[in-house]
Amino acid sequence: MAVDGNMQLQNHNFDPELARLNIAYMIIMHQYPLWMVEHKWFKVFLSSLQPLFKLISRNTLRADIMKIFVEEKKNIMSVLENYKSRIAITSDMWTSGNQKKGYMAITAHFIDNSWKLQSRVVRFAYVSCLHTTKVIVDVLFECLLDWNIDHEWHESEYVVIKLMDANMIAKFKKYWEDIHTIFSIALILDPRFKFRTIDYYFDKIYKDQAEFEKDKVHTVMPEIENEYKASFPKPKGDLQPPPLQYSAQMSRWCLKLELGQARVHPRTTESPVAQN
């Protein structure tokens, strides 16, 4: 039995799942530490209120909080999908005082059907140092992809936004077709990464087309090697070290390759060595 605000007795059914959910919300809203649920007198307090409640550990509490996060994320995504208004994205950087770590709060702003401005925090992300423009843009772009903001642009009812999205995708695909091979070659030439790195990332990027793209890289590499072999005279007699001019030219070309200044053709790479 329980007593309400009017001092009237009524039946009360204890819901342990609801109690666990409320504890998780309490921890979130008041920013209490997770280990609070393992305090001795907090356990005594809960047991005095409801002996039937099964006490939880901090790991269980962490799992409950993550479930709330996933559910709230789904709710916000549903809200953003239902509204056809434009979505404005703002970001706010701040640094924790004791840890000296940078974080970014990313907020989506939109006008609802009642013409009221709504704001929702869609990501609170750690930003690794240094806080360069590239690092910040990468974190922001990852958030947009995770929340399907790019899909909202593509499906927008506004013709201008749809055309802008289509043009951006077309330009990116054209650029990527021209540059991804040279990126792959530079990755293979790096002593730290070889074809196994190409295999790993191409499977993630190209999915069903991964093997086709891998074959293109495997074809280009021997062609580049043969091109350089044909550009220089074969050594006579015993194998001699390459001339200094060859080494210098190769070094300059590798530097240009790393900086993305060498030109990529459909089947080969044009190098400064071959032009001399």
Q: How far apart are CA 165 and CA 39, in angstroms?
A: 53
Which tokens sit at 18?
A: 């609801």
Burial (CB count within 10 angstroms: exposed 0-12, middle 13-18, buried 19+), residue 85? middle
Q: What secondary structure does DSSP assign to 125-141, as a single string?
A: EEEPSS--HHHHHHHHH
Length, in residues, of the chain: 276
CA-closest candidate to residue 120, choices 79, 84, 152:
79
The Cα 186–Cα 198 span in angstroms is: 11
pLDDT at 132: 77
N- to C-terminal Cα distance for the chain?
A: 94
Mean pLDDT of 152-167: 62
Segment (H or E) for 257:
helix 244-259
Whole-number Cα distances in Å, 242 to 186, 191, 192, 270? 22, 20, 24, 21
How many CA atoms, within 13 angstroms, populate the side-chain half-sphere of residue 107? Answer: 11
Q: What is the pLDDT of residues 161-196, one digit of tens each?
A: 666 666 777 777 777 776 777 778 777 777 677 777
High-pLDDT (> 70) share of the chain, %: 71
Residues 156 and 148: their CA atoms lie apart, in Å, by 12
Question: H/E element holding 44?
Answer: helix 40-49
Residue 252's alpha-carbon distances to 75, 179, 249, in angstroms, are 54, 19, 5
Confidence tier at 23 by pLDDT (50, 70, 90): very high
| H-type alpha helices, 50-158 | 58-82, 133-146, 149-154
pLDDT at residue number 240 = 55
- Return d(Cα 53, Cα 46) in angstroms, integer: 8
* CA–CA gap between residue 166 and residue 152 (Å, rounded): 12
Q: Is residue 25 over pLDDT 50?
A: yes
**Residue 238: what pLDDT?**
56
Q: Would you give the distance in Å from CA 80 to the centre of its chain? A: 20
Structure confidence by residue, pLDDT tens digits, 210-265:
888 888 888 887 887 788 778 777 666 555 555 544 544 555 555 555 445 444 44
What is the rounded average pLDDT of the residues 13-38? 88
Cα–Cα distance list, 223 to 156, 216, 239 (Å): 45, 11, 22
Is residue 136 within 8 Å of 93, Cβ to Cβ? Answer: yes
d(CA 152, CA 172): 18
